[in-house]
Structure 1
Amino acid sequence: MHPHADPQNPTDPDNAHPDNPSDQSSPSQDEAAPKTPPSSSDIKRWRQYLADERAEAAVYRQLAQRRDGEEREILLALAEAEGRHEAHWLKLLGEHAGMPKAASIRSQMLGFLARNFGSVFVLALAQRAEGRSPYAKDPAATRAMAADEQIHEEVVRGLATRGRNRLSGTFRAAVFGANDGLVSNLSLVMGMAATGVPATVVLFSGIAGLLAGALSMGAGEYVSVRSQLELLKATRPTQATLTAAPALDIEHNELVLVYLARGMSREAAEHRAAERMGVYSCDCDPSLSLHPEVEETVNEHEAVGSAWGAAISSFCFFASGAIVPILPFIFGMTGFAALAVAGTLVGIALLSTGAVVGLLSGTSPLTRGLRQLAIGLGAAAATYGLGFVFGAVIG
Structure 2
Amino acid sequence: MAAPEDTRAGLGGAAPTPAEVKRWRQYLADERAEAAVYRDLASRRGGEEREILLALAEAEGRHEAHWIGLLGDRVGEPRKGDIRTRMLGWLARRFGSVFVLALAQRAEARSPYDADDDATRSMAADERIHEEVVRGLAARGRNRLSGTFRAAVFGANDGLVSNLALVMGVGATGVSAQYVLITGIAGLLAGALSMGAGEYVSVSSQRELLDASNPGGDSRSALPHLDVDANELALVYRARGMTEAEAATQAAAVLKDNSLAPAPADDTHEIVGTGIGAALSSFCFFASGAIIPVLPYLFGATGLTAIIISAVLVGVALLVTGAIVGLLAGASPLRRALRQLAIGFGAAAVTYLLGLLIGSWLNQGQ
Give the alignment's TM-score, normalised by structure 2. 0.92
Is the Cα contact below 8 Å between 2:254 and 2:260 reproduced in 1? no
- Distance in 2 of aligned mates of 1:290 and 1:380: 50
Percentage of identical aligned residues:
66
1:357 aligns with 2:325: yes
Alignment of 1:228-267 (within 5 A): 228-238=206-216, 241-250=219-228, 252-267=230-245
What is the root-mean-square deviation of aligned Cα atoms in Å?
Answer: 2.1
Q: 1:98 Cα shift?
A: 2.3
Alignment of 1:133-172 (within 5 A): 133-172=111-150
1:30 aligns with 2:1: no
Alignment partner, residue 9 of structure 1 = none
Larger radius of gyration: 1
Is the Cα contact below 8 Å between 2:295 and 2:310 reproduced in 1? yes
Q: 1:142 Cα shift?
A: 0.8
Which stretch has the larger CA shift, 360-369 or 96-105? Answer: 96-105
The match for 1:194 among 169, 172, 192 is 172
1:269 aligns with 2:247: yes
The match for 1:212 among 190, 195, 198 is 190
Alignment partner, residue 129 of structure 1 = 107
Which stretch has the larger CA shift, 260-269 or 242-251? Answer: 242-251
Q: 1:300 Cα shift?
A: 2.4
- Distance in 2 of aligned mates of 1:49 and 1:57: 12
Q: 1:138 Cα shift?
A: 1.4
Residues 306-329 of structure 1: per-residue CA shift (max 9 Å, x gap): 212211111111111111111111
Is the Cα contact below 8 Å between 1:289 and 1:295 reproduced in 2? no
Alignment partner, residue 40 of structure 1 = 18
- Distance in 2 of aligned mates of 1:321 and 1:287: 50
Residues 89-121 of structure 1: per-residue CA shift (max 9 Å, x gap): 122122332222221121011011111113211
Which stretch has the larger CA shift, 384-393 or 304-313? Answer: 304-313
1:373 aligns with 2:350: no
Amino acid at match of 1:372: Q
> Aligned residue pairs: how many?
360
The match for 2:291 among 323, 327, 351 is 323
Residues 348-373 of structure 1: per-residue CA shift (max 9 Å, x gap): 10001111111222210000000100
Relative to structure 1, the CA distance from residue 239 to residue 42 in structure 2 (aligned partners, 3 Å threshold; closer, same or farther) is: farther
Amino acid at match of 2:267: E
Q: 1:337 Cα shift?
A: 1.4
Q: 1:171 Cα shift?
A: 1.3
Alignment partner, residue 18 of structure 1 = none
Amino acid at match of 1:300: E
Q: Which runs of 5+ in 2 are unaligned?
A: none
Alignment partner, residue 282 of structure 1 = none
Is the Cα contact below 8 Å between 2:109 and 2:131 reproduced in 1? yes
Q: 1:271 Cα shift?
A: 2.5
1:341 aligns with 2:288: no
Alignment partner, residue 41 of structure 2 = 63
SS of alignment partner, residue 188 of structure 1: helix
Q: Which runs of 5+ in 1 are unaligned?
A: 1-25, 279-284
- Distance in 2 of aligned mates of 1:239 and 1:42: 73
